Amino acid sequence: MSLTQLEYFVAVAESGTVTAAAARCAVSQPPLTRQIHALEHELEARLFERSARGMTLTCEGARLLAHARAVLAMVRATPAVVRAADGG
């Protein structure tokens, strides 16, 4: 599992469509879709219910969303933590 996969997963979960998530992540739809499928395969779980109107989270996806947001927040905070440690 990669940070990119988690970022793409959160983008799809928050936007509800692959099209909007791809625009948000500045990538085309096929690679984003492949990464979501790879994440589902690795976790052995369906993360989204897919329909013509978009994508909604499954129970497993909802559980992952909270964790993915926490992981990404920790990664984004890491430079500040390192700088603070260097100054203290």
What is the secondary structure of the chain as a DSSP string? --HHHHHHHHHHHHHSSHHHHHHHHTS-HHHHHHHHHHHHHHHTS--EEEETTEEEE-HHHHHHHHHHHHHHHHHHHHHHHHHHHHH-
Amino acid 85: pLDDT:
76
Amino acid 44: pLDDT:
97
Q: Residue 78's domain is classified under what CATH number?
A: 1.10.10.10
Overall number of domains in the chain: 1
Phi, psi of 65 (to 5 degrees): -55, -45
Amino acid 88: pLDDT:
55
Please check whether residue 52 is in contact with residue 19, taking contact to mean a CB–CB distance below 8 angstroms: no
Mean pLDDT, consecutive 10-residue stretches, the chain (88 aa), reads 97 96 97 97 97 94 97 93 76
Structural domain that includes position 38: 3-87
Amino acid 43: pLDDT:
97
- Site of tokens 């559980």: 63
